[in-house]
Amino acid sequence: MVFDENMQLVTRCPFCSAEYDLDGAQVIGEENDATMVYITCSECESSIVAIVAMSGLGVVSLGLVTDMTVEDTKRFMNEKHVSSDEFLTIYELLSNNEQNAIKQLTKSSK
């Protein structure tokens, strides 16, 4: 995936404010116009999951702190075969419930 400069992707670590090296971002899942990426801070090694989605209103993005590993998130995405509808549901869940949402989603997929 190419990170478009116009995308308002999370670009700084919420913990130490270091600028993310997006070359190190791992794409966990892509569906139509939505992409979920996992980014680990090279400075403090904290991780976030970010979702970037194209909507009728333009590009929306959300980053959240996670203690899941990239393997956890990939397993979740693979098992679920996430559709674009589900992807948006996840996005909404994350918006409303922040880090608990993805934890719960991961648990229920095991």
Q: What is the CA radius of gyration of the chain?
A: 13
Give the ranges where the chain is alpha helix by DSSP (H). 70-80, 84-97, 99-109
Phi-psi region of 84 (alpha: psi -120 to 50; beta: other; left: phi over 0): alpha
Min dist. Cβ of residue 20 to Zn ion (A) = 8
Smaller CB separation from Zn ion, 10 or 77: 10
Q: Summarize as ranges the residues that interact with Zn ion (CB under 5 A).
A: 13, 15-16, 18, 41, 43-44
| Closest approach of Zn ion to the CB of residue 76, in Å | 23
Residue 35 CB, nearest distance to Zn ion (Å)? 22
Residue 48 · residue 10 · CB < 8 Å: yes
Please say which residue, 16 or 54, places its beta carbon nearer to Zn ion: 16
Q: Which is nearer to Zn ion, 13 or 37 (CB)?
A: 13
| Alpha carbons 47 and 72: distance in angstroms, whole number | 12
